[in-house]
Every structure is written in C-alpha cells, then in structure tokens.
Amino acid sequence: MHLSLVLCVCVNMQVLYHCQVSPPQKLVVILRSRTGGSTIRQCTTHQQYKIFAQKKSKRLTMSKNSGHKQHKVDHISNLPDCILHQILSFMPTKEVVKTSILSTRWKSLWAFAPNIDFDDTLFSDTNIDLDDALIWDTEFHDQHRPDVTSFMNFLERVLLLRGASNIEKFSLTCFNSYDESQIQRSQIHLWISNAIMHNVQDLHLTFFQEDPSVIPWSMFDHTSLVSLKIRANSVTELPSCISFPCLKTLHLLSVVFPNNDHAEKLFLGCPVLEELVLSDNWMNLKNIVISSSTLKSLTIKDWQPFQPLNDPASSCKIKIDAANLTNFDYTGILSNEFLLNNVSSLVKACIHIPSDWPKKDGCRVIDLLKQLRYVVSLRLSSCALEVVGNLILQL
C-alpha cells in the first residue's frame, strides 16, 4: 500500500517541514503544543488544514486567557515505531533530525529511520535546480556553492549516530563534488561504502564532477541492492566484474560509458532487471545490445544536445532484445538508430519528438513506429503525429 500525503511538522503552530507527494493528497499535521502534548491530525485538502490550524490557534488562545491548563495527551508517543519511521521516510535527513526536539519520544527515533537523504544543496543560501546544475557553468556553481564543511560534518555525524541499524534507501547529492578541493573522492567512497555495509536496497547518487572514479567499484558487486539510480555528468569507469543479482530498477542519467563493452557488461550484470531508464548515455557508443529476458519497462531519453543531427559518426545503433518488455517510452530527436527485436509482448508505447524537430527526417519516426506493431496503447507527441499524418496524405 502506497502512502500519498502532505506532511507538516509544526512546533507551537510553526511549520518545520512541508512535503507534498502525488495525489490523492492527504495532510498529516504533527503539532507540539506549549504544554507538552503532541497530536496528529489528517486533512484531505489544504483548506481543511487552514481551518484546523485556525481553530487550534484559537483554542490555545482561549485556554491561555481562561487561566486553566488543559491536560494534553501525547498521541505521538502511542504510535508504533514503524508508523513514525514511515512518516520520517518522506523527509530529507536534515529535517528528520529536527524532529528530535518534538518530545522525548522523538529524541533518538530519527536515528533508526530506514531512509537517509543527504543533499548538500540544502546547505546553500539559494535554491538550486538540479537540471540547471547539469550545465557546466563555473559562474553558476560559484554563485550557488553550498556550505560544504557543514554538510560533511552533518553527514558523518548522522552516520556515526545511526550505529549498526540497516538502511533501506540511501540518497546522496553532491552538488559541490565537481570541486575536489571541497569533497574528496575518498570521502564519497566511504559514505557509499557505509550504506553498502548496512545492506542498503535503494541507492540514489547524484554528482556534478568529471571524475570517472567518483563511484567506488565495490558498489558494483552488491548482493542486496534492488534499485540503483545514478545521475552524473561524466564518463564513468566500471570494474571488470559486475554483479547485481537482486537489482530490478536501474536509472542512468547523463552517465557516459567509456565504450560499448562497458555498457553491455553492466546490463549483463543485472540478471533480474525489470525497469531500465537511460538518458543521454550514448556519447561514446557505436553499437550496443540491451538483452534481458526479465526487462518489463524501458525508458530512453535521447536529446544529445552537443552532437549534430544526422551525423553517422556520432550516432549509435541500439538493439533491444527483451521478450517480456511491456512498456517502451522514448523521448528525443532520434539521433540514434533503434532495432526492436523479440518484443511481441509490448503493450504500451509512448513516442515524444520535440516540436522543433526537422520534419524532413520523418522516415526515422516511421521506421520506429513500424517496430511497435504489437502495442495495444500508443501515445504520440504532436510532432510525431504530424509526421504520420503527412505520410497518410501522401498515400
């Protein structure tokens, strides 16, 4: 059962954290009153939350003016750890630690939260859009430089206080990792290794530097990992042996392989892979095969912003052999050539071509659509639909 909620943690009616997750929306309000009691309320809309907050504030004011102290029951203390940990799992670790001031019940509870989310952009004075951060611009990075020292001290202290408790999800964003004078590669290796030693199952890594060895090779031989998502901006070196026996989800965003062999070696090292997302990974690739009998969902984003269109020297032939593939989602400019082989189980497909794509290259769209003849549901962008319409008019 998936929880979808908006989480507010408040102290004396002051919001400490607010996080909105996909609808249907619910509102869980955790209030810590001046008299020591804690309550949890649930609302279905933001309007109900406003009404609730106004009533709560009015009630506290009337109680203070009347001179009578009301006995408050700490409902949070009566909740089992599993529910409190579930609430904390929706919050960045920096905010999770703040809940230790709510009551004695919460003082050390945060240390056993199953999810850890370290993001050095939260230690910056300005908000940072990670999509903008992927653009190499020294001036941009200098203007949004986080307080790296505070970030590292906080991260290492949290890992130390957690002790030996297992980690379900570990997320690490190092916006400032492009500058090795600030965050050393060895430190990043230690943080990731710590998560691996604590049997992490879901690992999210985001880096902005051109160091091909920023990811420790020990990570590529991890038996308990179920989901791996890497967002980088550089060529990534891989070890000779890769083994992810339990990995079902793999997302590689702007991760560039050194050559064809490295890419295929990674895919072959995931024998039970079910979901694969590839985004702008083709810079050094010429001819690769994605072969998996367990793959069910494949998403490819192929913008190639720095490569010329229709240049055979910069394009890649991508052969997909997936007997159990049911979902195929493509977004891009069709700068690469696709060969869909053994995909008769395909049910849903989505092809999105940008509106400024040259219509004279419509044959590429047609070639791709011909290979989707087994799909039951097909979604096309307006540009792709226009190409198909023009072809029909020519018949």
**Phi/psi of residue 64, nearest 5 degrees:** -70, -40
Task: Please give the single-letter amino acid code of residue 386.
Answer: E
Whole-model pTM? 0.74
CATH number listed for the domain at residues 115-394: 3.80.10
Q: What is the pLDDT of residue 230?
A: 93
As given in the structure block, the two tokens for residue 77 are 């203390």
Q: Can you give the residue ranges of every domain in the chain?
A: 6-106, 115-394
Q: What is the pLDDT of residue 378?
A: 93
CB-count burial class (<10 Å; 0-12, 13-18, 19+) for 155: buried
Cβ proximity of 5 and 86 under 8 Å: no
Reply yes or no: is the peptide bond before residue 305 cis, omega within 30 of 0: no
Q: What is the pLDDT of residue 373?
A: 87
CA–CA distance, 322 with 260 (Å, rounded to integer): 19
Over the stretch 91-121, which tens digit does the pLDDT of each residue have? 878 788 888 787 777 777 777 788 888 888 7
Beta bridge partners of 41: 29
Q: What is the pLDDT of residue 34?
A: 43
CB-count burial class (<10 Å; 0-12, 13-18, 19+) for 56: middle
Cβ proximity of 355 and 382 under 8 Å: yes
Q: What is the pLDDT of residue 268?
A: 93
Q: What is the pLDDT of residue 300?
A: 94
Query: Given the DSSP bridges, would you call strands 14-20 and 6-11 parallel, antiparallel or unpaired?
Result: antiparallel
Residue with tokens 């609430």: 87
How many Cβ atoms sit within 10 Å of the Cβ of residue 217?
14
**Cα dihedral 226, 345, 1, 48 in deg (nearest 10):** 120
CA angle 52, 54, 55 (to 5 degrees): 65
Q: What is the pLDDT of residue 182?
A: 64
CA–CA distance, 115 with 96 (Å, rounded to integer): 10
Q: What is the pLDDT along the chain (395 residues), one digit of tens a residue?
A: 443 334 444 433 344 334 443 443 444 444 444 444 444 444 444 455 445 445 555 554 555 555 555 556 667 667 788 888 888 878 878 788 888 787 777 777 777 788 888 888 777 665 545 444 444 444 544 555 667 788 888 888 888 888 788 889 999 988 765 454 467 788 888 899 999 999 999 999 988 767 777 888 889 988 889 999 999 877 888 888 899 999 999 999 988 898 999 999 999 999 999 999 999 888 888 999 999 999 999 999 987 654 555 565 668 899 999 999 999 999 988 888 899 998 989 999 999 988 777 666 678 888 888 899 889 999 998 888 887 777 677 65
As given in the structure block, the two tokens for residue 278 are 């590839």
